[in-house]
Chain A
Amino acid sequence: MTTPRKPYVRRRYWNEPTMGWWERFYLFEVVRGLAVTGGVFLRNMGKWITGRKGALTAYYPEETRADYAAGNRGKHILTQRPDGRPQCVACNMCATVCPAQVIEIDAAFDPDDPAHPKYPSRFEIDYSRCVFCGFCVEACPEDAIRMVKETPDLPGFDRDRMWLGREELLNWQPRADVAKPYPVRPPHEPGRSADA
């Protein structure tokens, strides 16, 4: 016993495109499409020929985009104390939380600063593996690591050269930042000024 087949009913969708005879004829709409792309080609070609840039692409790495969003997690910076030493106390929390395990810190002892006796003698980030998640910034108890919108700009053929060290990362100058004035604290030790 066979069940009778249901007649085929074509499904109609709410967003089904409706084409008039003009679109159905195809050729004229094709010509319109060619006019659009050809117009873009002529406009861009005119720009290139007259020495301007006819593309939206940034010519990385010779040229970097100027319009990164303000909150873009581009690369890391280490913040500094007023005297220029890193705010980092080498607690290794960022290295622990890092999902890509790209942060390497060597801690050292600083007898000159009893309030912060531990500091990083080496602080390196491997940008060939960094996933730019920003967890290190969240984990830092000292506000020692932040992320800025600029990219590290380390293109190359050798992954060993995609590391940034302490000196490259230590570039946020608190004195130069007018938006976030650094709280000036009294010198903690006689004979050493905070402005040194």
Chain B
Amino acid sequence: MNAPDLAISLVYIAYALAVLLTFGAILTWVERKQAAIMSDRIGANRAYVRIPFTQVKLIWLGLFHGMADGLKLLLKEDFKPLAYDKLAYALGPWLAIVPVLLVFAVVPFGGTLDPGRLFPSLAGWFGGRTYPMQIAPIDAGILIVFAFSGISIIGAMLAGWSSANKFSLLGALRAGSQLISYELVMGLTVLGLVLIFGTVNLASIVERQSGTVLGFLPAWGIVYQPFAAILFLIAGIAENKRTPFDLPEAESELISGYFTEYSAMKQGIFMLSEFIEIAIIGALFVTLFLGGYNLPWMNDSGFVFPGGHAVPLSHGWVVLLQLLTFLGKIFLLCSFQILVRWTLPRFRWDQLLRFAWKFLLPLAIANLVVTAFALWAQPA
């Protein structure tokens, strides 16, 4: 790896971390505000930052409540249970958040970047190389995603097991069985898409979604696989352990489930990983089913509308538009997940597993079979 490649990679990693952590922080605010607005309330709006030496208080619709929460979590006592497994207890939060962050490495957040065209003064240094906007452009994209979300199950189970608390243990058991069940559904729903696009490389999947079908519809995954899209979103919300699938941390039954015995920022890391995972589920859904960074009728050189009308754009505008499109789509998906979380009541435990194994799984398999059959019957 030479210097320009390294520089580009570092920029990508910084961008990804900034995006994910910002999403994690902003979503706490979005969740509060959206829930409030949905239920005819105002929502958190009291925390403020006072400009020093003045009486000017910045409230900004309560945006600083997240900061206040973070500060509170950092300053609280790190209380530990009397008997616990030290190593596993310390590993738990990190195994919950690191895989979530790593999943973003294979998600393409933009098209192809040509740094020489963006910064003409550096064109000689980059030597005309172009880079796909993706931290790790590897072929095994979807497989990596599932591998890492498998690791985050271990995080939840370790945290529950090592706390030496019956509530935590119950939460860990629930987390384990729930996540494994829904992981299966998630994998099967994606398989139909893999059959259609013929690849598991996320960058190629997004590129395949940039055209149109039937002349006007954007060739997004949701057009080919609307059924799989719904199932994937359900399974994704279940993977994230949020209402209506928040059995592992059901407050009314298990206090906080597998992270009952965690306090201060360790508990904060679990919360943060949950909020980042909202964004990750959104990013995966956007990548697989909503055309990733593509706007309808847009390609790497501008817009071409169905009537044949073309609007050319410079490379800088295209890159910016693709980045913003991706973020905007993720944000809409996050908002939808929050809507689901504040609408539906929690399942009972037997209902949860029955829903996964007797409802979603057969539907996912049926979807896969129908897709395979349609591809086989279609004239090549």
Contact = CB atoms under 8 A, between A and B. Distances in A.
Contacts of A48: 37
Interface stretch (B287-295, B299-307, B337-345): B337-345
B36 interface: yes
A108 interface: no
B41 A38 contact: no
Contacts of A147: none
A44 interface: yes
Contact of B343 (A33, A44, A57, A59): A33
Nearest to B345: A33
Nearest to B338: A41
A74 interface: no
A54 B61 CA distance: 14
Contact of A41 (B37, B344, B355): B37
B271 to A, nearest CB: 23
A55 B37 CA distance: 7
Interface string B326-354: 00000000000001101110000000000
Contacts of A40: 38-40
A45 interface: yes
A59 B41 CA distance: 10
A30 interface: yes
Contacts of A44: 37-38, 40
Contacts of A33: 343-344
Nearest to A56: B40
Contacts of B39: 40
Say what secondary structure dominates the interface of chain A.
Answer: helix
Given A30-B344, A33-B344, A55-B36, A41 B41 contact: no
Interface in A7-51: 26-27, 30, 33-34, 36-38, 40-41, 44-45, 48
Interface string B9-38: 000000000000000000000000010111
B40 A55 contact: yes
Say what secondary structure dominates the interface of chain B.
Answer: helix
A41 B37 CA distance: 6
Given A55-B42, A56-B41, A59-B42, A38 B344 contact: no
B42 A37 contact: no
Contact of B34 (A26, A41, A54): A41
B40 A41 contact: no
A37 B37 contact: no
B38 A34 contact: no
Contacts of B339: 34, 37-38, 41
A40 B36 CA distance: 11
A45 B37 contact: yes
A55 B34 contact: no
Interface of A: 26-27, 30, 33-34, 36-38, 40-41, 44-45, 48, 54-57, 59
Interface of B: 34, 36-42, 230, 339-340, 342-344, 355, 359
3 shortest interchain CB distances as A-B pairs: A37-B343, A56-B40, A41-B38
Given A33-B343, A44-B40, A56-B41, 5 more contacts: A38-B339, A41-B34, A54-B40, A55-B41, A56-B40
